[in-house]
Structure 1
Amino acid sequence: MGSDLVHVLLVSFPAQGHINPLLRLAKRLASKGLLVTFSTTEAIAHMMQKANNNITATNTLTPIGKGYLRFDFFSDGWDVDHPQRNDLDAYMVQLNSVGPTSLADLIERQASEGRRVSCVINNPFSPWVLDVATDMGIPCGVLWVQSCAVFSTYYHYLHNLAKFPTSSEPHISVQLPGMPLLKADDLPSFLLPGTPYGCLTELILGQFKNLSKASWVMVDSFDELENSILESISPLVPITPIGPLFKSIDTESDSTSVRGDMWKAVDCLEWLDSHSPASVIYISFGSVVVLGGDQMEEMAWGLRNSKRPFLWVVRPTENSADTRLPKGFLEEIEGQGKVVQWCPQDRVLSHPSIACFVTHCGWNSTMESLSCGIPIIAFPQWGDQITNAKFISDVYGVGLRLGHPKGGPLVTRGEVERCVAEMTDGGPKAEEIKKNSMKWKEAAVKAVSIGGSSDKNIQAIVDDVRGRAENQNGPKADV
Structure 2
Amino acid sequence: MSTSESIDSVRCDVGLFVTLARRWFVRRLCTTLFVFIVSFMYLFSSDCHISFDSVQIQSMTLASFMLQIRKHEYFKKLNIIICKMRSEAPIHVLLISYPAQGHINPLLSLAKCVAAKGASVIFITTERAGKDIRTVNNIIEKSFTPIGDGSLTFEFFDDCLEDDDPIRGDITGYIAQLKLVGKPFVSQMIKNHAESNKPISCLINNPFLPWVCDVADEHGIPSVLLWVQSTAVLTAYYNYFHKLVLETYEELEHDFIDYISNKSILIRPIGPLFNNPNIKGANNIRGDFVKSDDCNIIEWLNSKTKGSVVYISFGTVVYLPQEQVNEIAYGLLDSQVSFLWVLKPPVKEAGLEPHSLPDGFLEETSERGKVVKWSPQEQVLAHPSVACFITHCGWNSSMEALSLGVPMLTFPAWGDQVTNAKFLVDVFGVGIRLGYSHAENKLVTRDEVKKCLLEAMAGEKAEELKKNAIKWKKAAEDAVAIGGSSDLHLDAFMQDIKKCGTVNIQKT
Matching residue within 36, 39, 51 for 2:121: 36
Moved more, 295-304 or 311-320: 311-320
Question: Where do 4+ consecutive residues of structure 1 move more than 6 Å?
Answer: none
Q: Given that residues 411 and 437 in structure 2 are in contact (C-alpha distance below 8 angstroms), is that contact kept between their aligned partners in structure 1?
A: no
Do residues 278 (structure 1) and 307 (structure 2) align? Answer: yes
Matching residue within 279, 282, 297 for 2:326: 297
- SS of residue paired to 1:397: coil
Matching residue within 290, 293, 307 for 2:336: 307
Matching residue within 231, 237, 243 for 2:271: 243
Moved more, 275-284 or 264-273: 264-273
What residue is the counterpart of 2:169 in the other structure? 86
Q: Given that residues 43 and 79 in structure 1 are in contact (C-alpha distance below 8 angstroms), is that contact kept between their aligned partners in structure 2?
A: no
Moved more, 338-347 or 61-70: 61-70
- SS of residue paired to 2:169: coil
| TM alignment of 1:379-458, pairs within 5 A | 379-404=411-436, 409-425=442-458, 427-458=459-490
Do residues 145 (structure 1) and 228 (structure 2) align? Answer: yes
1:89–1:470 Cα change, 3 Å? closer
1:259–1:266 Cα change, 3 Å? same
In the TM superposition, what is the alpha-carbon distance from 1:363 to its structure 2 partner? 0.2
What residue is the counterpart of 1:76 in the other structure? 159
1:103–1:35 Cα change, 3 Å? same
Do residues 136 (structure 1) and 136 (structure 2) align? Answer: no
1:332–1:106 Cα change, 3 Å? farther
Q: Given that residues 12 and 22 in structure 1 are in contact (C-alpha distance below 8 angstroms), is that contact kept between their aligned partners in structure 2?
A: yes
Q: Given that residues 213 and 223 in structure 2 are in contact (C-alpha distance below 8 angstroms), is that contact kept between their aligned partners in structure 1?
A: yes
| TM alignment of 1:121-200, pairs within 5 A | 121-155=204-238
What residue is the counterpart of 2:298 in the other structure? 269
Q: Deviations over 1:191-230 (max 9, x none)?
A: xxxxxxxxxxxxxxxxx4xx35xxx411100111111111
Do residues 338 (structure 1) and 370 (structure 2) align? Answer: yes
In the TM superposition, what is the alpha-carbon distance from 1:112 to its structure 2 partner? 4.8
Give the distance between the partners of 1:468 and 1:405, measured in 2 at CA: 43
Amino acid of the residue matched to residue 130 of structure 1?
Answer: C
- SS of residue paired to 1:149: helix
In the TM superposition, what is the alpha-carbon distance from 1:466 to its structure 2 partner? 1.4
Give the distance between the partners of 2:157 and 2:191, measured in 1 at CA: 12
In the TM superposition, what is the alpha-carbon distance from 1:47 to its structure 2 partner? 2.1
Amino acid of the residue matched to residue 470 of structure 2?
Answer: M
Q: Deviations over 1:356-376 (max 9, x none)?
A: 111000000000001000011
Give the distance between the partners of 1:321 and 1:124, measured in 2 at CA: 29
1:405–1:385 Cα change, 3 Å? closer
Give the distance between the partners of 1:108 and 1:430, measured in 2 at CA: 56
In the TM superposition, what is the alpha-carbon distance from 1:83 to its structure 2 partner? 3.6
Do residues 318 (structure 1) and 347 (structure 2) align? Answer: yes
In the TM superposition, what is the alpha-carbon distance from 1:115 to its structure 2 partner? 4.0
Aligned residues: 415
What residue is the counterpart of 2:280 in the other structure? 252
Do residues 27 (structure 1) and 112 (structure 2) align? Answer: yes
| TM alignment of 1:40-59, pairs within 5 A | 40-53=125-138, 55-58=139-142
- SS of residue paired to 2:168: coil
In the TM superposition, what is the alpha-carbon distance from 1:408 to its structure 2 partner? 6.9
Amino acid of the residue matched to residue 422 of structure 1?
Answer: E
Give the distance between the partners of 1:468 and 1:436, measured in 2 at CA: 41
Q: Deviations over 1:215-254 (max 9, x none)?
A: x41110011111111111123233221111121127722x
- SS of residue paired to 2:207: coil
1:333–1:271 Cα change, 3 Å? same
- SS of residue paired to 1:36: strand
Matching residue within 250, 256, 275 for 1:223: 250
1:330–1:113 Cα change, 3 Å? farther
In the TM superposition, what is the alpha-carbon distance from 1:116 to its structure 2 partner? 2.9
- SS of residue paired to 1:73: strand
What residue is the counterpart of 1:106 in the other structure? 189
Give the distance between the partners of 2:88 and 2:360, measured in 1 at CA: 60
1:106–1:328 Cα change, 3 Å? farther
Q: Given that residues 381 and 400 in structure 2 are in contact (C-alpha distance below 8 angstroms), is that contact kept between their aligned partners in structure 1?
A: yes
Q: Given that residues 30 and 68 in structure 1 are in contact (C-alpha distance below 8 angstroms), is that contact kept between their aligned partners in structure 2?
A: yes
Give the distance between the partners of 2:116 and 2:196, measured in 1 at CA: 23
Matching residue within 328, 349, 355 for 2:387: 355
Give the distance between the partners of 1:443 and 1:262, measured in 2 at CA: 31
1:77–1:420 Cα change, 3 Å? same
Give the distance between the partners of 1:4 and 1:79, measured in 2 at CA: 41
What residue is the counterpart of 2:317 in the other structure? 288
Relative CO higher for 1 or 2, CA cutoff 8 Å, sep ≥ 6? 1
Amino acid of the residue matched to residue 277 of structure 1?
Answer: K
Q: Deviations over 1:320-355 (max 9, x none)?
A: 782332333222221111111111111111111111
Structure 1: where are the runs of 5+ without partners? 160-207
RMSD: 2.1
Give the distance between the partners of 1:127 and 1:231, measured in 2 at CA: 26
1:69–1:475 Cα change, 3 Å? farther
1:474–1:264 Cα change, 3 Å? farther
Amino acid of the residue matched to residue 94 of structure 2?
Answer: L
Q: TM-score, normalised by structure 1?
A: 0.82
Give the distance between the partners of 1:265 and 1:118, measured in 2 at CA: 36
In the TM superposition, what is the alpha-carbon distance from 1:74 to its structure 2 partner? 2.1
Amino acid of the residue matched to residue 349 of structure 1?
Answer: L
Amino acid of the residue matched to residue 9 of structure 1?
Answer: L
- SS of residue paired to 1:272: helix
Amino acid of the residue matched to residue 277 of structure 2?
Answer: I
Amino acid of the residue matched to residue 357 of structure 2?
Answer: L
